[in-house]
Structure 1
Amino acid sequence: MPEIQPFRALRYSPAAIDDQARLICPPYDVISPSLQRELYEASPYNAVRLELPMEPDPYKAASERITRWLQSGVLTRDDEQALYPCFQTSTDSAGHEHIRKGFFCALRLYEFSEAQVLPHERTLSGPKADRLNLFRETGMNISSIFGLYADEHLEVDRLIGEFVDGNEPVMDEEFQGVRNRMWKISDKGLIARVQQVLLERKAYIADGHHRYETGVAYRKLRAAENPSHTGREPYNFILTYLANIYDEGLLIFPLHRMVHNLQGFDPGEFIKRLEADFSIRQLKGRGELSAYLDAHTSEHAFGVVTSRGTFGICLKGMAAAILDGVVSGPLQQLDVVVLHEIVLRRMLGISPEAMRDQANLVYTENDCEVFDAVRNGDIQVGFIVKPTTVRQVMDISAAGEVMPQKSTYFYPKIMTGLLFHEL
């Protein structure tokens, strides 16, 4: 596995601020303008003011705030290097509780070609330019990437679990229905044992591809500017939350597709066109669709929601028979690839560029939103998909492939503001 290191985190000072629940926020890429305003109003010290400032020059605003908050004691630097376990507790729609367990560390940056850190998504130039400006102006990782590793014997889970059971968290706050508890491990012996277990394992990026690639670019810039560069400087590492793929609390939600603004779209004609490649069953709404998808555990099956009704569709033959020569074997196993290539591109004529730019396509993790949007006439057709599995993420990454945009939604998001990593 890539080298992981403890680090001296920059954190909010409990002595300066008593209600730390008002300080944390999601990562920048899921903060809507309305949530951004709401977070600004929550506290003059909310992490959104560093992660996604509203000022005309957001990068300068973030940098100046960091300086002021350090001087005033709002932010404080830990006096020793540490790893930071973080457990996130959430409840699903059925009322079941899930606890995802992981820890924050400093992860050494590698080129993807070195096959130490493996991606599964393509990135866009705009977000990377934005994050690079923030890195350069602030000299800090404000939000963490989310990485996975495979520890089938749960050795790291056991080591960290024993520590957590015997120590009080340094933070215990709830945000958007998710409880975030964080501890601090400074024991060098325990840290060394965690490092040793993970030494031979690869890291897979679950979330934060843009930030990771930005970290690599920033490292190159700093190394070129530093005649005394050794490779041990903090800028050679990036703030990372690592979780075990065998953790029972690791959840991936599906991201459903909603299509709009297609010229001449006719739902009846579209359903007829689907019959060429899919078996089709008309269903009585959301409940029957959920049961239909649950019953199709291995086939490429989807829900189709239109103004003419709700349908369950399942690919008749093998995906390879249709997709050979178009996409690789590992990608042919993914439902979203089958949906994008056969239905969205070939049948509906949505180009890869339009999908990337979301010209005709928007995404939601809430299937109720799909039904509501069709009912209200906001979209022309919605597609309900099953979640990508963690094993598929790892297989695609290991094969050097990348998934279509919005193939995974790891829940919950890693909160920004629990700690920061200085570069």
Structure 2
Amino acid sequence: MATVLPFKGILYNPEIITDSADVTTPPYDVIPPGEQQAFHERHPNNVIRLILGQSTPADTPRDNPHTRSAAYFREWMTQGVLKQDDQPALYLKAITYAHGESSVTRYGLIARVGIEAFEKRIILPHEKTFSKVKSERLELLKATHCNYCPIFSLYPDEGFILGTLEAAVDKSQPAVDFTDEQGHRHRLWRIIDPAVHARVTAAMQDKRLFIADGHHRYETSLNFKKHLQATDPTFNDQHPANYVLMYLCSMSDPGLIILPAHRLVKGLGAEEMQKALNRSRAWFNIADYPFAADNRKTVEKQFLADLEQGVASQPIGIYTRHASVFHLLTLRSGVMEELFGGELDPALQQLDVTVLTRLLFMTILEFDQQRLDDATRFGYASTADKALAAIDSGDFDAAFILNPTRIEQVQEVAQKGLIMPRKSTYFYPKVRSGLVMNTLAE
């Protein structure tokens, strides 16, 4: 089913860039403005200039972050800062990071993957996207004709594919080896053996791929392909834009971690939130955790512990900047089936993000689709402390704290052809931008 192929990757030239930590970043959509500026200042060749360039009041259709990205890319290729490999390769990526008290390593294959419409059920999404984000990313792709960061996808595997890749790089030194600003160690190996390429490509042919992170970029690649089909008379089945750069991770990899995607919301006033809490009592049991300055940390710890322990009851925590109290909402048995059984599959009813979106946001707070699709109103945090801090700082008005979605839930939803609400998962760590790039130009 899936077409997974080697390609001539574009990498930073180690003769010029001695530390890849200086020039690579997380994906564009998890970089806040402060970090964006820091990456710009860290190195003149940092990939931030390609994936998330700075806007200016003087920007025009001919001079803007997207056109400047294309100019930087051409300049760096000419200067030799970026260099395309001479031979097609598959790239094995390892990231080692701390999780709890342990050190964990996750492996992924970076390859070129044939773009398929979702209707073919070869590459499967699991969550909705923001239309504005897709249009912005499409303009970048039109200007640059390059994948700067791979889409993070998952595949079912009993170990054959990863075992094949690991054996191919056994005891060899990685082409890239560095530690990033979070203390995560990144290693990357080139695999140029055609026999290994053939085994991996053959093994992937009966796989379905599940998009873990990068839905916007994948849909943008679909739209870019359609754009070229409509505007380029030379476009054919051999064009590079029939493919997209992907990072492929086995679903059984022990280093695959999903963190929560806590919701942060702007534009919720005290009166609106109080009315929502009152209405919520029809479907939730609500426990309140009031606190003062001297016992805030103790109360917060208990609140989060109770949230985690109540996972079977699909609990949702709420904290607003209008009151010194945490609220823990526990869903009553049978509510989702009673309210949405006629329109939502059981696999969706069992997701905490569905309870949040359909019951809290749409039914109780009466958010319409326009409000839900307004990316400027929403923020996301992968840890509870960051979510709560965003309320204390006044950046957002309310935080909705969730337990993480489980990998088996992602797989069930995707296999059924269903779609989760936006930002239902936060796969951790993210895949680094700038490690390997893929040109879409002929």
Q: Which moved more, 1:114-123 or 1:258-267?
A: 258-267
Contact 1:262/1:360 (CA < 8 Å) preserved in 2? no
Paired residues of 2:131 and 2:373 also in contact (CA < 8 A):
no
User: Structure 2 length normalisation: TM-score?
Assistant: 0.88
**Letter in structure 2 aligned against 1:383:** F
Q: Does 1:293 align with 2:307?
A: yes
Distance of aligned partners of 1:242 and 1:261 in 2 relative to their CA distance in 1, 3 Å threshold = same
- Equivalent in the alignment of 2:328: 312
Letter in 1 for 2:175: V
What letter is aligned with 1:206? A
Alignment-derived partner of residue 32 in structure 1: 32
| Residue from 356, 362, 366 that aligns with 1:345 | 362
Compared CA separation, residues 200 and 347, structure 1 to 2 (3 A): same
Give the Å deviation of 1:162: 2.2
The answer to whether structure 1 residue 174 and structure 2 residue 179 are counterparts is yes
Q: 1:367 maps to what in 2?
A: 384
CA distance in structure 2 between the aligned counterparts of 1:221 and 1:382, rounded to whole angstroms: 39
Question: Does the 8 Å contact 2:130/2:375 carry over to 1?
Answer: no
CA contact (8 A) 2:2 2:123 kept: yes
Residue 295 and residue 7 in structure 1: after superposition, are their counterparts in 2 closer, same or farther (change >3 A)?
Answer: same
Match status 1:77 vs 2:92: no
Distance of 1:168 and 1:40 partners within structure 2: 30
Which SS does the other structure have where 1:2 is aligned?
A: coil
Q: Which amino acid aligns with 1:214?
A: T
Q: Match for 2:318: what amino acid?
A: V
Q: What's the CA shift string for 1:221-276, capped at 9, x where partnerless? A: 33445555541222211011000111111111111123443345276665444332
Distance of aligned partners of 1:290 and 1:125 in 2 relative to their CA distance in 1, 3 Å threshold: closer
Asked whether the 8 Å contact 1:25–1:416 carries over to 2, the reply is yes
Q: How many residues align?
A: 421
Distance 2:139 2:208 in 1: 29
The one of 317, 324, 327 equivalent to 2:344 is 327
Residue identity in the other structure for 1:99: T
Matched-pair contact (CA < 8 Å) for 1:350–1:360: no
Identity, in percent, stands at: 32
Give distance in 1, aligned partners of 2:216 and 2:435. Answer: 20
Query: SS at the partner of 2:191?
Result: coil
Post-superposition Cα deviations, 1:376-397, rounded to whole Å, max 9, x if no partner, equal: 6665543210111122222222
Q: Which position in structure 2 is the counterpart of 1:159?
A: 164
- Which one is further off, 393-402 or 285-294? 285-294
CA 1:280–1:130 in structure 2 vs 1: closer, same or farther (change >3 Å)?
A: closer
Segments of 5+ residues of structure 2 without an aligned counterpart are 290-297
CA–CA distance in 2 between the matches of 1:224 and 1:313?
50
Q: 1:266 to 1:6 in 2, by over 3 A?
A: closer
- Provide closer, same or farther for how the CA distance between residues 271 and 226 of structure 1 changes in structure 2, counting only shifts above 3 A: closer
Deviation by residue 1:72-127 (Cα, 9 ceiling, x = unmatched): 211111010000011112223x3332222111000000111111111122233332
Q: How does 1:63-102 map to 2 (within 5 A)?
A: 63-92=70-99, 94-102=100-108
Letter in 2 for 1:247: D
Distance (whole Å) between structure 1 residues aligned to residue 412 and residue 109 of structure 2: 23
Tell which deviates more after alignment, 301-310 or 59-68. Answer: 301-310
Going from structure 1 to structure 2, the CA distance change for 1:222 and 1:315 (only over 3 Å counts) comes to same
Separation of aligned partners in 1, 2:233 and 2:272: 64
Aligned-CA RMSD value: 2.3
Q: Which one-letter code corresponds to 1:120 in the other structure?
A: H
| Aligned-pair CA distance for 1:218 | 2.0
Distance 1:25 1:374 in 2: 26
Give the corresponding residue for 2:193: 187
Specify whether residues 78 and 377 from structure 1 end up closer, same or farther in structure 2 by C-alpha distance, changes over 3 A only.
closer
Contact 2:269 2:397 in 1 (8 A): no
Instruction: Structure 1: state its 5+ residue gaps.
Output: none
* C-alpha deviation, 1:36, in angstroms: 2.0
Report the residue type matching 1:395 in the other structure: E
AA in 1 matched with 2:436: L
- When residues 77 and 358 of structure 1 are mapped into structure 2, their CA distance, relative to the original with a 3 A threshold, is closer
Q: 1:137 to 1:157 in 2, by over 3 A?
A: same
The one-letter amino acid of 1:304's match is I
* Residues 261, 117 of structure 1: alpha-carbon distance in 2 compared, 3 angstrom cutoff: same
In structure 2, distance between residues paired with 1:145 and 1:266: 38
Within a 5 Å distance, the mapping from 1:372-391 to structure 2 comes to: 372-374=389-391, 380-391=397-408
TM-score by length of 1: 0.92
The aligned residue for residue 209 of structure 1 is: 215
CA distance in 1, matches of 2:203, 2:22: 36
Q: Tell me: CA distance 1:108–1:376, structure 2 relative to 1, closer, same or farther (3 Å).
A: closer
CA positional deviation for 1:349:
3.0
1:147 is aligned to 153
Comparing 268-277 and 157-166, the one that deviates more: 268-277
- What residue is the counterpart of 1:231 in the other structure? 237
CA spacing shift, 1:391–1:76, aligned 2, 3 Å: same
Q: Structure 1 stretch 172-181 or stretch 217-226: which is displaced more?
A: 217-226
CA contact (8 A) 1:142 1:417 kept: yes
Q: What SS does structure 1 have at the residue aligned with 2:285? A: strand
Cα-to-partner distance string for 1:191-226 (whole Å, 9 max, x where unaligned): 211122222110111111121122122223334455
1:159 partner letter: T
